[in-house]
Amino acid sequence: MDAGGSPGSRGDGDVTVPPIVYHPDYQATLPDGHRFPMGKYRRLSEVLLARGLAPQGFVRPEPAGVDLIAGVHDRTYVESVLALTVPREVEREIGLPVGASVVARSRASVAGTLLAARLALAHGLAGSSAGGSHHARRGGGAGFCIFNDVAIAARTLHREGSIARAVVIDCDVHQGDGTADCLSDSPDLFTFSLHAEKNYPTRKIAGDRDVGLPDGLEDAGYLAALEAHVGPLLDAVAPDLVFYNAGVDPHRDDRLGRLALTDAGLAARDRHVVAAARSRNIPLVAVIGGGYATDIDALAARHAGVFEAMAAEAA
């Protein structure tokens, strides 16, 4: 842990404040004026500390290596990323400059999600203050995503026998095409995406369950769709772990969303997903996913919501 100690607990093994994984490399350096709001990662860490959600500091991962990442992605692609030799056309599809800082961020994010998943299995709830790079496919990145951290974590835990089944609940406003691609041959790793149907990606890759929502949908309609699927899905699959992509880009003020949720709507969404898992004694690991508002303070506050929901559930 950055500040020493171990996840806060009552002394009987139950975590009172779910552990949060963070690495300074989560925030990479981008050219001035780049539209990706990279500043949200450091600001989120400050918000989490200020709100008492990491009272003993953060759990810090070691960067992921090539073998771990290549368990999901094409090895040639992985090696080109780590060697900083990604072809220009691939870099354009990713939408980020694939330099040393961005690569360090991607490696830390993969490791962070896997570590948070292990902590969730141990404690019931945990999260990484990055992750959710759900557009990265087996053969390459796209849509600000270089490596698919959730798919890598799910496959790793499944391969080693730590889990038999998992469900990915992806509530980012964009369909989780990369995760669907990466896990398409793994029936025990179930993908569920709740997204704006007309949003990116234009050409979607079908997951196990995709629910496309109409533009402009507000809180009530969104929450009704969420509630219609989450509980029944968890009952049907009975997973050993839930991966929750808590993207905040369904918010009405998001530049790249097409939905109209309020802060209260996002908070209700997070509470519902977390409670649905824990009421069934299913561990849940959260990643923050997308969020592209220009107000970094407001954006970081929204991303903090899922950690508040987990803390409230664990209290």
Q: Would you report the helix, strand and coil content of the chain in percent, each value rounded to 5?
A: 40, 15, 45
**For residue 113, what pLDDT band results from cuts at 50, 70 and 90?**
very high
For residue 110, tell me if it sits in a domain.
yes
Mean pLDDT of the chain: 95
Rounded to whole angstroms, the Cα distance separating 310 from 284 reads: 9
Collapsing DSSP to helix, strand or coil, 162 comes out as coil
pLDDT of amino acid 13 = 40
**For residue 130, what pLDDT band results from cuts at 50, 70 and 90?**
very high
pLDDT of amino acid 16 = 78
pLDDT of amino acid 240 = 99
For residue 9, tell me if it sits in a domain.
no
**Could you tell me the two tokens for 167?**
């469900």
pLDDT of amino acid 2 = 44
Q: Which residues are registered as beta bridge partners of 209? A: 192
Domain of 133, in residue numbers: 20-27+35-314
pLDDT of amino acid 11 = 30
For residue 162, tell me if it sits in a domain.
yes
For residue 298, tell me if it sits in a domain.
yes
For residue 11, tell me if it sits in a domain.
no
Q: What sign does the CA torsion over 22, 23, 25, 27 have?
A: positive
| pLDDT tens per residue, range 232-274 | 999 999 999 999 999 999 999 999 999 999 999 999 999 999 9
**Given a cut of 80, is residue 218 above it in pLDDT?**
yes
| pLDDT tens per residue, range 38-64 | 999 999 999 999 999 999 999 999 999
Q: What is the pTM of this model?
A: 0.94
Burial class (CB in 10 A: 0-12, 13-18, 19+), 99: middle
pLDDT of amino acid 5 = 36
| pLDDT tens per residue, range 272-306 | 999 999 999 999 999 999 999 999 999 999 999 99
Rounded to whole angstroms, the Cα distance separating 214 from 208 reads: 20
For residue 14, tell me if it sits in a domain.
no
For residue 8, tell me if it sits in a domain.
no
Contacts of 175 by beta carbon, 8 Å cutoff, 6+ apart: 193, 195, 199, 201, 204, 207, 210, 212
Cis preceding linkage at 87, omega within 30 = no
pLDDT of amino acid 278 = 98
Domain count, the chain: 1
For residue 81, tell me if it sits in a domain.
yes
Kindly report the CATH number assigned to the domain that includes residue 262.
3.40.800.20
**Given a cut of 70, is residue 3 above it in pLDDT?**
no
**Given a cut of 60, is residue 12 above it in pLDDT?**
no
